[in-house]
């Protein structure tokens, strides 16, 4: 459980290196699941403004990191 909490803490940190490293620690399928969840958090109702903002920041970081290129769901 601590690993899962750390993962989401890193993903929602808004720190480019922490976000990218958290995503890179995941196998591709799990990474795609995490990115899809971040997309939901950032774009669907029910999340706080802060959660949505941090999720969108994580997605933007992932989209611009060359190590993660092509990892966005729907691309």
In a domain, 36, yes or no: yes
Residue 51 is part of which domain span?
2-68
Average pLDDT, the chain: 91
In a domain, 50, yes or no: yes
In a domain, 73, yes or no: no
Instruction: Write out pLDDT tens, residues 32-70.
Output: 999 999 999 999 999 999 999 999 999 999 999 998 875
Can you give the pLDDT at residue 14? 96
Can you give the pLDDT at residue 2? 77
In a domain, 74, yes or no: no
| 29's tokens | 């399928």
Q: Where are the alpha helices (DSSP H) in the chain?
A: 2-11, 16-25, 28-43, 49-64
* Tally of domains in the chain: 1
Put residue 45 in one of left, alpha, beta given phi > 0 → left and psi -120 to 50 → alpha. beta
Q: Which residue has the tokens 């997309």?
A: 39
Can you give the pLDDT at residue 39? 97
In a domain, 34, yes or no: yes
């Amino acid at each position: 459980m601590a690993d899962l909490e750390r993962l989401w803490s890193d993903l929602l940190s808004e720190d480019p290196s922490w976000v990218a490293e958290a995503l890179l620690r995941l196998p591709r399928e799990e990474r795609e699941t995490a990115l899809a969840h971040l997309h939901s958090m950032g774009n669907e109702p029910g999340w706080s403004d802060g959660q949505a903002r941090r999720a969108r920041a994580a997605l933007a970081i992932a989209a611009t990191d060359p190590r993660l290129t092509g990892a966005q769901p729907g691309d």
